[in-house]
Structure formats: structure tokens, C-alpha cells
Amino acid sequence: MSILSLDNVSKSFGALKVTDAVSFDVPQGQALGIIGPNGAGKSTLFNLITGNLVSDEGRIDFDGQDVTRVPAMKRVAAGVGRSFQIPQPFEKLTVFENLLVAATHGRAASEAEVLEPCADVLRRTGLLPKANSPAGTLSLLERKRLELARAMATGPKLLLLDEIAGGLTEAECRSLVQTIRDIHAEGVTIIWIEHVLHALNAVVERLLVLDFGRVIGIGDPKEIMDSREVREIYLGIEV
């Protein structure tokens, strides 16, 4: 059964078609990677799935419901969690408060109900020592971890990760990948946009290639990476 399904979804900004008749399904529990050159419309696609943008055409179904016109806050409650490419923590709130805000509103739960799940997310994302630091004081890796933690705190069925491994050192990247694998192993469906391909390939089971807003390939990661079209367009290699 698909947890997310896009059917002919299009979005234009003025004359520029950023998402062009995109259709794909994500089965429950799968980890899907999305790659594509800069400006291919990857983040726009995420914005359409989270409800930050509303599509001009097409239909988006999440968890058996048509969510095409459902506002962002209701999609969070339905189970769409998202991390940002550029971390956007609530800087004046502490790390733990960031999670509490996400958890109480994202799950429509009381503070008492979310304390334990939030502490658990802190432990799993390695942020426990920073729990009471204002989020504005965190390092880049910690901010990326907070992005992941905050998305997790909303109790998502579908987790959207936007270039979460970008700008990290090799060791930092490895530990983050392990955390994401653990989350995936628990049954959370993941869609991950990433330029750091080895990190992506360590987790995803399926790969989607986007170029000029169109899906130009979707399938087994190895086959996709080996295909001539993808190598030409995405990697810029003359074959």
C-alpha cells in the first residue's frame, strides 16, 4: 500500500514550470532518495508534499486521504514530518523546547504525553547534552540533528529530509546516516533529497531523478545511477 502518491502534480512560478506533471508512489515503509541538479525542483516538490505550496494541477494522496488542498499544519498532524535544507530552529527556544513545541502541536498531545517521546528523540539524535542550550548557539551538525529531531518529534509516518548531510564531515555524516537508518528500521517511510550520494545509497531502496521539474527516472538505485540518461544529465559525464 502506498503511503504517498502524486498524480500529475504541476507547479509554476510565473512562466517557469518548477514541477512538471510529476507522478510517483511511495510504498509504506520505503526509503526513497531524490537526486537532481540544482534548480531541478526538489525542494519545491517537498513544499508541495508538506503543503507549504499548493499545486496548480494534479492530486496528492497521503495515507489514503486526498491532501492536495489541505494546509501544512493539518498535514503535520496527519503524519508528514520535514527537515529543512537550511536549518531553521526556533533560535531563542532551547533544544528541548524546540522538540516540545513540535511534539505538542504536531501530535495534538499534552505536554505530559510528549515528555518521554521527546527525551527519547533527544537520545537517539545525540542531542541530550544540548537539551537546555538555546538552539541559536548550536553548531552546524547539531542544527542538522535538531532538524531531524524536530521532524521526528512530530511523530511522522513520512519523514522528508532535505539535504541533511550537506556540509558535514565524513565522520559526522556516518553517524547521521546511522541515526536515519535506525529511524527507517522502525518503519518510518523516508523521502530524502541529497547530493551526498554515498550517504543516500547507504539508506535508500529506491531512487528518483528529477530534472527541470520532471521525473526522468525512478527505480533501483544502482540501475538508476548506471543509466546513461542520468549520468549525462545529473553527473554531467559524457558517456
Partner 1 sequence: MIWLDTILQGVLLGGLYALFAAGLSLVFGIMRLVNLAHGDLIVFGAYMILIVVSVLGLHPFLAALVAAPVMFVFGWVLQKAVLNRTLGDDILPPLLVTFGLSIVLQNGLLEGFSADSQRISMGALETASVSVGPISAGVLPLMTFASAILVIVALNQLFYRTAIGRAFRATSDDPVTASLMGIRPDRVFATATAIAMLVVTIAALYLGTRANFDPNVGPARLIYAFEAVIIGGLGSLWGTLAGGIIIGVAQTLGAAINPEWQILAGHVAFLLVLLIRPRGLFPRGH
Please report whether residue 237 would count as binding partner 1 according to CB under 8 A: no
Q: Among 21, 70, 100, 218, which residue interacts with partner 1 (rule: CB under 8 A)?
A: 100
Cell for 66? Answer: 486526498
Site residues for partner 1, 103-162, by CB under 8 A, read: 104-108, 110-111, 150, 154
Per residue in 182-214, is it b (16+ CB within 10 Å) or e — as a string? ebbeeebbbbbbbebbebbeebbebbbbbbbbe
- Residues touching partner 1, count (CB under 8 A): 28
Applying CB under 8 A, the span of 27-35, 80-88, 123-131, 186-194 interacting with partner 1 comes to 80-88
> Least distance in Å: CB of 200 to partner 1?
23
Applying CB under 8 A, the span of 33-41, 70-78, 191-199, 216-224 interacting with partner 1 comes to 70-78
**DSSP code string of 87-105:** ----TTSBHHHHHHHHHHH
Site residues for partner 1, 4-63, by CB under 8 A, read: 50, 52
What are the strands, taking DSSP E only, across 127-236? 158-162, 189-193, 206-211, 214-219
Q: Angle at the Cα of 234 (from 231 to 239), degrees rounded to 5?
A: 25
Applying CB under 8 A, the span of 6-14, 96-104, 183-191, 195-203 interacting with partner 1 comes to 96-104
Length of the chain, in residues? 239
Applying CB under 8 A, the span of 23-31, 68-76, 118-126, 188-196 interacting with partner 1 comes to 68-76
Of 78 and 202, CB closest to partner 1:
78
Q: How many CA atoms lie within 13 A of 16 on its CB side?
A: 8
> Least distance in Å: CB of 10 to partner 1?
23
Pairwise CA distance, residues 21 & 71, whole Å: 21
> Least distance in Å: CB of 98 to partner 1?
8
Q: Cβ neighbours of residue 181 under 8 Å, at least 6 residues apart? A: 202, 203
Contact 151, 79 (CB under 8 A): no
Which positions lie near partner 1, rule CB under 8 A? 50, 52, 71-73, 76-77, 82, 84, 88, 90-93, 97-98, 100-102, 104-108, 110-111, 150, 154
